[in-house]
Amino acid sequence: MVSVVYEAPDSIEGAVNLLANADVPAHILAGGTDLIIQTNGSSDAERLFVDVKKIAGMTEANLTDTALVLGPSMSCAAFTECDDIKAVFPGLVEAAYLIGSTQVQGRASVGGNLCNSSPAADTIPALIANGAQCVIAGPGGERTVPVEEFVTGVGRNCMEKGELLKQITIARPAANTSDAYLRFIPRTEMDIAVAGAGVSITLDDNGTCTAARVGIGAVAPTALLVPDAAAALVGSTLDDAALQAAADAASAASSPITDRRGTVEYRRQVVGVLVKRAATIAAERAKGG
């Protein structure tokens, strides 16, 4: 069993200091829904947990005139209660709502989901679709990374020793823009995504798509931004042919594996179906909004 050292600093500097100077494997404790299970299965003798939830701003969300500034450790349950955010980013909120059970949402956070860097993370395709930026604090100060570049591999991300995710920011979208996130699971709840798709759509007054972003999950080592799928949608009225072209582009961009949750063939096919369906929902919302 791992011997745990627990610290709960009240400032970013304090957290960075602890993380940078740790002489045992150091982990950021946000909701803990992944970390506590992983620690139980770990062969580490000792681990440092830095609980970041006592740091100001880490568990809050603020939607301004220009952007959403999301404290990465805000619980999904609290996040999904923010009606103002839901009105602007319904797909992102849906993605947060899909993580685990009500109980898990009481602890799990968007930032935790991102930093755990699972290929199947629900919020990452939705963050990608919305062009989210990750603000990372570290011993050398702050840097900002686009979300699609944050995750670098299965369970790996671009954060170096001593760094932590301080904020997730998303610019307010243009008028007539909305998003949607869909995932496929065998049951109705509680499963890890077999495939996921987040789509953001901007329409002009005639219902023609002027901009789109498509993120897909669980079909490659990291969630992917799929420009080809977006390109297939832009310029169209999201007719069947355009949707199918986007679906095909998503399937083509995927490089899934076969595991206990799905096969290569199945995932490749279903991710296309999800892109099609999510794009349709996002477009409906963009019209309505």
Partner 1 sequence: MAKSHVSTSINGEPVEYLCDPGDTLLDVLRNELQLTGTKEGCGSGDCGACSVTLNGRLVCSCLVLGVEAEGAEVGTIEGVGANDKLHVIQEKFLEHAALQCGVCTPGLIVSTKALLEENPNPTEEEARYYLAGNLCRCTGYDKIIRAVMDAAETMREGA
Partner 2 sequence: MSEAQEFKYIGQRTIRPDGYDKVTGRAQYGADLSLPGMIWGRTLRSPHAHAKIVSIDTSKAEAHPDVFAVVTFKDFGSVEGESINAGEGAADVLDLARNCLADDKVLYHGHAIAAVAARTERAADDALDLIDVKYEVLSPVMDVEDAMKEGAPVLHEDMFTQGYEETPSTPSNIATRLEMKMGDIEAGFAEADVIVEREFRTPTAHQGYIEPHACTARYDEDGQSMVWCCTQGHFDVRTSTAKLLGLDLSKLKVVASEIGGGFGGKTVVYQEPVALALSRKAGRPVKMVMNRDEVFIATGPTSAAKLKAKVGAKKDGTITAMQGWMAYEAGAFKGSPMMPGVMTMFTPYDCGNVQVEGFDVVVNKSKVAAYRAPGAPQAEFAAEMVVNEVAEKIGMDPIELRLKNAAKEGTQTIYGPKLKTVGLIECLEAARDSDHYKSALADGCGRGIAAGFWFNIGGQSSVSINMNTDGTGTILEGSPDIGGSRASMQMMAAEVLQIEPSNLKPIVADTDSLPYSQGTGGSRVTFATGMAVIEAAEDVVKQIKERAAAIWNVTAEQVDYADGVAINTAGEEKMSLAEVCQAAEKTGGQISGTGNINARGAGPSFAVHLCDTKVDQETGKVDVVRYTAIQDAGKAIHPSYVEGQFQGGAVQGIGWALNEEYIFNDDGVMENPGFLDYRIPLASDLPMIETIIVEVPNSFHPYGVRGVGESGIIPPLAAVGWSVGDAIDRKVEELPCSPPRVLSLIQNG
Residue 29 interface partner, choices partner 2, partner 1, none, CB cut-off 5-8 Å depending on type: partner 1
Q: How far is the CB of 262 from partner 2 (least distance, A)?
A: 6
DSSP helix/strand/coil, 170: strand
User: In the chain, what is the straight-line distance between the N-terminal and C-terminal CA atoms, in Å?
Assistant: 52
Nearer to partner 2, 204 or 240 (CB): 240
Which is nearest to 91 in space by CA: 123, 69, 113? 123
Nearer to partner 1, 1 or 206 (CB): 1
Residues within window 39-58 making contact with partner 1, judged by CB under 8 A: 39-40, 49, 51
Tokens of 146: 């686009």
Dist CA 80 CA 87 (whole Å): 11
Residue 171 interface partner, choices partner 1, partner 2, none, CB cut-off 5-8 Å depending on type: none
Please give the angle made by the CA atoms of 122, 128 and 131, to the nearest 5 degrees. Answer: 145
Helices and strands in the chain, H and E counts: 12, 14
Residues within window 249-278 making contact with partner 2, judged by CB under 8 A: 259-263, 266, 269-270, 273
Q: Cα separations (Å) of 98 from 14, 33, 159, 221, 285?
A: 32, 14, 26, 20, 19
Rule CB under 8 A: say whether 244 interacts with partner 2. no
Dist CA 215 CA 144 (whole Å): 19
Tokens of 15: 């957290």
Residue 198, Ramachandran bin (φ over 0: left; ψ between -120 and 50: alpha; else beta): beta
Nearer to partner 2, 43 or 66 (CB): 43
Please give the angle made by the CA atoms of 59, 173 and 105, to the nearest 5 degrees. Answer: 30
Total residues interacting with partner 1, rule: CB under 8 A: 30
**Residue from 16, 26, 63, 107 binding partner 1 (CB under 8 A):** 107
Residue 21 interface partner, choices partner 2, partner 1, none, CB cut-off 5-8 Å depending on type: none
**Residue from 23, 65, 83, 189 binding partner 1 (CB under 8 A):** 189
Tokens of 13: 């500097």
Rule CB under 8 A: say whether 112 interacts with partner 2. no
Residue with tokens 């009105």: 87
Rule CB under 8 A: say whether 29 interacts with partner 1. yes
Nearer to partner 1, 108 or 201 (CB): 108
Q: How far is the CB of 198 from partner 2 (least distance, A)?
A: 17
Q: How far is the CB of 20 from partner 1 (least distance, A)?
A: 20
Residues within window 168-207 making contact with partner 2, judged by CB under 8 A: 184, 186-192, 194
DSSP helix/strand/coil, 3: strand
Neighbours of 84 (CB within 10 A): 11
**Residue from 102, 144, 255, 258 binding partner 1 (CB under 8 A):** 102
Rule CB under 8 A: say whether 245 interacts with partner 2. no
Contacts with partner 2, residue ranges (CB under 8 A): 1, 184, 186-192, 194, 259-263, 266, 269-270, 273
Contacts with partner 1, residue ranges (CB under 8 A): 1-6, 8, 29, 31-33, 36-37, 39-40, 49, 51, 75, 77-78, 100-104, 106-107, 188-190
